[in-house]
A and B are shown apart, each in its own frame.
Chain A
Amino acid sequence: MSVRVQLPPLLRPVSGGLRTLEAEGSSIAAVLADIAKKHPPLALHFFDEAGAIRHNIVFLHDGAMIRAKEAAARQLKDGDEVVITNALAGG
């Protein structure tokens, strides 16, 4: 299953300047693992010391905001788009 993933601006230089990536996986967590495998420097930014998705990362999928702890359960279908962003504060 192939999905399109949009990286946050901060991480684009780490992926060679790419804004979006194609990745495989049936959940957001699986897609993240696939990207980290294809672009190893991104792994540091996705996963913490315990191997968990960094808790301040947030995903946008199908009109919903998905927290890191919900990423494994969030199912994807072929052709979906996922935006990686992060928790914001201020205003």
Chain B
Amino acid sequence: MEIALIVGTPKGAAVLKSKDGSNWAHDFVLRGWPVTASARDDAGRTYVAVNSPNYGVALFASDDLNAWKQLEAAPRYRPEDRGNPEHHRLVAKEDFGGILKGGGRFVDQIWNLHFAHGALWAGVSEAGLFVSRDRGASWAPIDGFNEQPGRESWAPGFGGLGAHTILSDANNPNRMWVGVSAAGLFRTDDGGKTWAPKNKGVNPAVDSAPATTGQCVHSVTHDPRNASVMFRQEHRGVHKSLDGGDSWQVMEDGLPIAELSDGHHCSFGFASGMDLKSGNVFVVPLDGDNFRFPKGGQLAVYRSGNGTDWEAKTKGLPADCYTAVLRGSLSADQKGGVYFGTASGVIYGSDDLGESWREIASGLPRIMSVEAYSA
């Protein structure tokens, strides 16, 4: 069995491959392109998303992780689509030509790629959802999501208004979830025609945020085969749902609690992931939104079987660590291996469900995404 990690950074993608989980072959591909997401289809083709503030958004595909070919199509809004003013304000620093003044809506980043039920899905910024049913040769907007009433007033996170999480139900092709910072989680039960916010019981991003679409979801994880049991790392804490997101409860026993900039106390972080074989969930708490590094400098992954209690796993992780683990940067290979990357360019891996960790790679640029694949 070969394990492959696709690691997205602002300067390209690291491709790490191992046959035994101990010895890793390193490559660095798509040099110069910011790489933010990857996915693999059911025929074994791997797709990565690249995003340049100058040359736009595109996808590359590879059947062997060695030769990469750019696809001719990519998600794009229509010329007449109108943008979200607050998102424009946040991304205007890279708008040297002033095109945002026209008020249009543009795909400035692919945050997430997700393969499910024979289709490739892309979650983008400015927040939207697109689908390709022909291996990326063409893309269609999901208007039911992209044109939701009220989207013009959604508040972006500091990274912009991004649809960064896509989840699917292996047993129900009509049900999907999309997470947007900072509007919250949305679910469709009719194949994407209509969407409803699923944020009941979730702490709002700030006390003044709208109750239904004011949640700053950072990441969501679940087992697609048992899709209704979900875990969610929020700006304001870790939550669990047993009903597909209809209701949520805070689940933080054992997690480090931080004070946020507004005085709220909760477990802050970005990344989450699940090992489907064991059902274990992993999060990487940070010391609140003021500091955004591990509490006390001890890099720690917290593991839980059902969310009712969490246990710190630090063996092999540094004690003087002042970096972050970003939202897309934790992944499991679904064979027992768990991997994550830091904003300071280090990849750690565990082959014993987090009991011990070892450094797999270092010296990389800021790590924005990690996806693990097993052949």
Q: Which residues on A are within 8 Å of B, measured CB to CB? A: 8-11, 13-14, 40-41, 43-45, 48-52, 54-57, 67-69, 86-87, 89
Task: Pick from B56, B81, B94: contact of A44, CB below 8 A.
Answer: B56
Q: Is the CB of A55 within 8 A of B104?
A: no
Q: Is the CB of A49 within 8 A of B76?
A: yes
Q: Is the CB of A49 within 8 A of B96?
A: no
> Would you give the shortest CB distance from A45 to chain B, in whole angstroms?
4
Q: Is the CB of B104 within 8 A of A41?
A: no
CA distance A48 to B55 in the complex (A): 9
> Would you give the shortest CB distance from B83 to chain A, in whole angstroms?
11
- List residues of chain B with CB within 8 A of the CB of A50: 79, 104
Q: Is the CB of B56 within 8 A of A55?
A: no
The 6 nearest A-B residue pairs measured at CB = A55-B97, A86-B54, A45-B55, A87-B96, A56-B54, A50-B79
CB<8 Å pairs between A and B, sample of 11 = A10-B33, A13-B68, A44-B58, A44-B74, A45-B52, A49-B77, A49-B105, A51-B79, A54-B55, A56-B97, A87-B97
Q: Is the CB of A10 within 8 A of B99?
A: no
Q: Is the CB of A55 within 8 A of B70?
A: no
CB within 8 Å for A57 and B54 given contacts A44-B72, A49-B78, A49-B79: yes
Q: Is the CB of B71 within 8 A of A48?
A: no
- List residues of chain A with CB within 8 A of the CB of B33: 10
> Would you give the shortest CB distance from B93 to chain A, in whole angstroms?
9
Residue of A nearest to B69 (CB): A41
> Would you give the shortest CB distance from A74 to chain B, in whole angstroms?
16
Residue of B nearest to A85 (CB): B54
CB within 8 Å for A54 and B95 given contacts A9-B32, A10-B32: no
Task: Pick from B54, B71, B76: contact of A87, CB below 8 A.
Answer: B54
CB within 8 Å for A41 and B72 given contacts A11-B55, A54-B54, A56-B54: yes
Residue of A nearest to B33 (CB): A10
> Would you give the shortest CB distance from B20 to chain A, in whole angstroms?
32
CA distance A57 to B99 in the complex (A): 12
Given contacts A10-B32, A49-B81, 14 further A-B pairs with CB under 8 A are A9-B32, A10-B54, A11-B55, A13-B68, A41-B58, A45-B55, A45-B56, A49-B105, A56-B54, A56-B96, A57-B55, A68-B97, A86-B55, A87-B97
- List residues of chain A with CB within 8 A of the CB of B77: 49
CA distance A10 to B60 in the complex (A): 13
Residue of A nearest to B79 (CB): A50
Q: Is the CB of B106 within 8 A of A49?
A: yes
Q: Is B363 an interface residue (CB 8 A)?
A: no
- List residues of chain A with CB within 8 A of the CB of B30: 13
Task: Pick from B70, B71, B94, B104: contact of A56, CB below 8 A.
Answer: B94
> Would you give the shortest CB distance from A19 to chain B, in whole angstroms?
14
- List residues of chain B with CB within 8 A of the CB of A41: 58, 70-72
- List residues of chain A with CB within 8 A of the CB of B98: 55
- List residues of chain A with CB within 8 A of the CB of B105: 49
> Would you give the shortest CB distance from B91 to chain A, in whole angstroms?
12
> Would you give the shortest CB distance from B348 to chain A, in whole angstroms?
30
Name the residue in B30, B70, B72, B98 with the highest tally of chain A Cβ atoms < 10 Å from its Cβ.
B70
Q: Is the CB of B56 within 8 A of A48?
A: yes
> Would you give the shortest CB distance from A36 to chain B, in whole angstroms?
10
- List residues of chain A with CB within 8 A of the CB of B159: none
- List residues of chain B with CB within 8 A of the CB of A68: 97
Q: Is B53 an interface residue (CB 8 A)?
A: yes
> Would you give the shortest CB distance from B325 to chain A, in whole angstroms?
27
- List residues of chain A with CB within 8 A of the CB of B53: 56
Q: Is the CB of B79 within 8 A of A67?
A: no
8 Å CB contacts to A: which residues of B62-116?
A: 68, 70-74, 76-79, 81, 94-99, 104-107
Residue of B nearest to A9 (CB): B32
> Would you give the shortest CB distance from B15 to chain A, in whole angstroms?
15
> Would you give the shortest CB distance from A53 to chain B, in whole angstroms?
9
CA distance A49 to B126 in the complex (A): 13
CA distance A10 to B58 in the complex (A): 12
- List residues of chain B with CB within 8 A of the CB of A87: 54, 96-97
- List residues of chain A with CB within 8 A of the CB of B70: 13-14, 41
